[in-house]
Amino acid sequence: MNHFELRDGELSCEDVPLAAIAEAVGTPVYIYSTATFERHYTVLRDALEAEGVRDPLIAFAVKANSNLAVLRTLAQLGAGADTVSEGEIRRALAAGVPPERIVFSGVGKTRTEIAFALSVGVCEINVESEPEMIAIAQVAESLGRRATIAFRVNPDVAAGGHAKIATGKSENKFGVSFAEAERLYANATNNAWLKPVGVACHIGSQITDLAPMAEAFSKMAGLVRRLKGEGLEVERLDLGGGLGVPYFNQPEPPSPSEYAKVVAEATRGLDVTLAFEPGRVIAANAGVLLAKVLHIHERPEGRRFLVLDAAMNDLLRPAMYDAYHDIRAVSPRQGPVRPYDVVGPVCETGDTFTRDRDLPAFEAGDLVAFMSAGAYGASMASEYNSRPLVPEVLVKGSEFAVVRPRPTYEEMLARETTAPWL
């Protein structure tokens, strides 16, 4: 459920018509609903608690939407943060997430990043390989601070909506095998600078089938039992993120309560704290990308292009993952539904949001909304083609605030310096 609905024939976010935001801020612009973020977080937490999962750590995956106001909205509800870089840890801290609710994941952490994570005291560093474990131990020793770690295990389960976002097969770059996890966990316990507290997995993103999750979770539970059986202490099991959302043309994703049932089933009797790293399921349907129709270009051979002022640099998912976003008119017109190719102004054929999509009537100047763009939208945006970084607006009830302004051209140029010989 989300809070983007037609009100008096006008697409609105909560109590604010999207057209009012376009008027004030211009387009393209990302628009987020506070009520939707809050709802998605609490629905997931309540579903887990209803299944008897006590006091879970729900660490929002910052890469899905790293806007500080969004992170603060979630932090105020008690969310933690799953981070994959020093920049994301800094964002989480700046948004008020306490370090003991910050998980540091990622395949290639630098020593500088590890030192930063240790100095602020994140709750766990998820170790992705043996060389990384050694590096963490060395950094911990040099700082005189013991590192709290968990091992990210690759459970060798196929899942995820697209090959580029599947992470849980042994051929992917993520995590260690079960056998390695057992060996490394025991080694780490004997290292004075490491404190292993648990194991973690994250098998992919946009998962719409619970079967691979159930398989991965029960394999992880088996690992916890084996580790405990060897006399090792395991406090936490981190089950990652990955739950899919409805993008309209895809299989209906499982509900949070079905997901919670699978979690509870797999982890019954384990006596560990559970952690989760949801990104998309919290953020995707809490945001839209609002754009304006520049032209409708009809080719003599029949193709009809809807040329927008938003482009692949603002919303990369269609170009990168062939992702589908529902496209809606902000003030729907009467008129025939016809097929369009929806494109942006960037000089790449990949700058095509969709082809042959049946859409309602549009005219130049109309506003269009890309739905479900709150996750992996603004956080993946760039200034390619020297287009100003797309701004972000947060709505709450009848109020809205610009939470990342559109940079001016002067600001963009001022970020660069010249070389002494020029």
Ligand X SMILES: *Cc1c(COP(=O)(O)O)cnc(C)c1O
Residues that bind ligand X (CB under 6 A): 61, 63-64, 82, 84, 105, 202, 205, 240-242, 277-281, 375
**What is the rounded CA–CA span in Å between residue 200 and residue 218?**
12
Whether the CB-CB separation of 173 and 166 falls below 8 Å is answered with: no
- Phi, psi dihedrals of residue 238, rounded to the nearest 5°: -105, 115
> How many Cβ atoms sit within 10 Å of the Cβ of residue 365?
9
**What is the rounded CA–CA span in Å between residue 253 and residue 240?**
17
Reference 260, options 284, 278, 279, 287; nearest CA is 278
- 31: its two tokens: 């628009």
**What is the rounded CA–CA span in Å between residue 120 and residue 109?**
16
Shortest CB 59 distance to ligand X, Å: 8
Which is closer to ligand X, CB of 169 or CB of 406? 169
Residue ranges in 54-177 assigned as alpha helix (H): 68-75, 86-94, 111-120, 130-143
Shortest CB 263 distance to ligand X, Å: 14
Half-sphere exposure of 419 (CA within 13 A, CB side): 2
Told to judge if 347 belongs to the known catalytic residues of this protein, a careful annotator would answer yes
Instruction: List C-alpha distances in Å: 120 to 89, 143, 159, 168.
Output: 9, 12, 34, 30
Mention every residue, 6+ apart, whose C-beta is less than 8 A from residue 390. Answer: 28, 29, 30, 289, 310, 313, 314, 378, 381, 406
Residue 410, exposed/middle/buried by CB under 10 A (0-12, 13-18, 19+)? exposed
Shortest CB 234 distance to ligand X, Å: 19
Whether the CB-CB separation of 391 and 309 falls below 8 Å is answered with: no
Which is closer to ligand X, CB of 11 or CB of 149? 149
Q: What are the catalytic residues? A: 347
